């Protein structure tokens, strides 16, 4: 920018432009002074005019510099205020972030405490429920134990009553004799079916049946004696309700009559006596529950004669209004 442009145009607003214009004015001012001092009729007036113009431009530059400085001051103040506002905003953001983090941490701690409280309440409630359930289980178990003990006592009492009844009616004594007789007759025939095992049976048959005991051999005597014992036990128990059946008494008589009796007649009489005894015993059992009969027989031992238990799986047993009907099962 030349000094003439400065004189004709707007004052500069840039610091560098002002410095450049000031340097050019100083050069122009120096030349104006030289022209004025030259005393030349033409240059001296021109130098004076340039001096006045330079002084006016200098004053304009001074005003421009002042305006620039004022603008820079305002800009600096604005920048400082902006930075301060940004700093305050950042501090406020950080503070709000910290407050939010603290609030979140507090909320998390409250939630964790609430969850622990719920967990403790659930555990307490679960423990209470388990205690209640265990108390009920213990109560039911105790009731079942008492009922079982009561049932066991009742079965034991009924088992003893059944045993006494069998003894009172002579069945127990008669069974003992039959058990002894079974061992003897088993040498000659099957006591259950009557199937023969040997050809001749001592003490019975065409010749032996006519002989008195004194003339028989040891086997014949022993066989007649065990069968006579069975007959005598039946007769001895005839006063009992269980053995008053006329058929039972007739079989006893047949079993005890060896004179003129054939072997087949003796075998059939013995098998029929056993069946009749089983029927009589089943009649006594019918007055008791099946559990009582099972308990009684379990106490007799493994080799005892069994009466079939009354249950739905056994076709030979049926329940009646007065009790059960039984048939004997051989084990």
Mean per-residue pLDDT pooled into runs of 10, the chain (331 residues):
50 64 66 66 73 76 81 87 89 87 88 89 91 92 90 89 85 86 90 86 75 81 86 69 55 60 83 85 87 85 53 39 39 40
* Residue 21: its H or E element: helix 15-37
Question: How far is Cα 217 from Cα 233, in angstroms, rounded to an integer?
Answer: 24
pTM of the model as a whole: 0.48
pLDDT at 309: 43
Residues whose CB is less than 8 angstroms from the CB of residue 73 and which lie 6 or more positions away in sequence, other chains included: none
* Residue 216: its H or E element: none
pLDDT at 29: 64
Enter the DSSP assignment of 14.
S
pLDDT at 228: 83
Enter the DSSP assignment of 207.
T
pLDDT at 138: 93
pLDDT at 137: 92
At CB < 8 A and 24+ separation, what contacts does 75-78 make?
A: none
pLDDT at 330: 42
pLDDT at 135: 93
pLDDT at 207: 72
Task: Look at phi and psi of residue 67 and say left if phi exceeds 0, alpha if psi is from -120 to 50, else beta.
Answer: alpha
Task: Look at phi and psi of residue 190 and say left if phi exceeds 0, alpha if psi is from -120 to 50, else beta.
Answer: beta
């Amino acid at each position: 920018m030349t000094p003439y442009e400065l004189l004709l145009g707007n004052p500069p607003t840039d610091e560098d432009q002002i410095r450049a214009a000031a340097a050019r004015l100083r050069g122009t001012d120096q030349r104006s002074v030289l022209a004025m001092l030259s005393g030349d009729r033409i240059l001296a007036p021109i130098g004076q005019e340039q001096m006045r113009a330079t002084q006016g431009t200098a004053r304009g530059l001074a005003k421009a510099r002042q305006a620039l400085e004022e603008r820079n001051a305002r800009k600096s103040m604005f920048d400082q205020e902006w930075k301060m506002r940004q700093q305050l905003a950042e501090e406020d953001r950080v503070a709000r972030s910290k407050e939010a983090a603290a609030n979140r941490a507090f909320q998390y701690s409250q939630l964790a405490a609430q969850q622990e409280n719920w967990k403790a309440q659930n555990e307490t409630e679960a423990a209470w429920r388990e205690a209640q359930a265990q108390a009920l289980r213990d109560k039911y178990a105790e009731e079942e134990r008492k009922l079982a003990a009561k049932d066991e006592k009742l079965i034991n009492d009924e088992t003893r009553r059944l045993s006494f009844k069998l003894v009172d009616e002579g069945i127990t004594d008669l069974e003992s004799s039959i058990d002894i007789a079974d061992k003897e007759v088993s040498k000659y025939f099957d006591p259950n079916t009557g199937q023969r095992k040997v050809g001749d049976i001592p003490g019975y048959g065409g010749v032996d049946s006519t002989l008195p005991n004194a003339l028989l051999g040891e086997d014949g005597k022993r066989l007649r004696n065990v069968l006579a014992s069975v007959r005598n036990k039946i007769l001895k128990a005839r006063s009992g309700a269980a053995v008053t059946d006329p058929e039972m008494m007739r079989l006893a008589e047949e079993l005890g009559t060896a004179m003129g009796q054939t072997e087949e007649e003796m075998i059939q009489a013995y098998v029929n006596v056993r069946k009749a005894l089983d029927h009589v015993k089943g009649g006594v059992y019918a007055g008791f529950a099946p559990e009582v009969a099972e308990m009684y027989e379990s106490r007799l031992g493994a080799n005892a004669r069994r009466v079939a238990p009354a249950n739905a799986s056994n076709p030979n047993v049926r329940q009646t209004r007065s009790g059960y009907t039984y048939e004997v099962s051989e084990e």
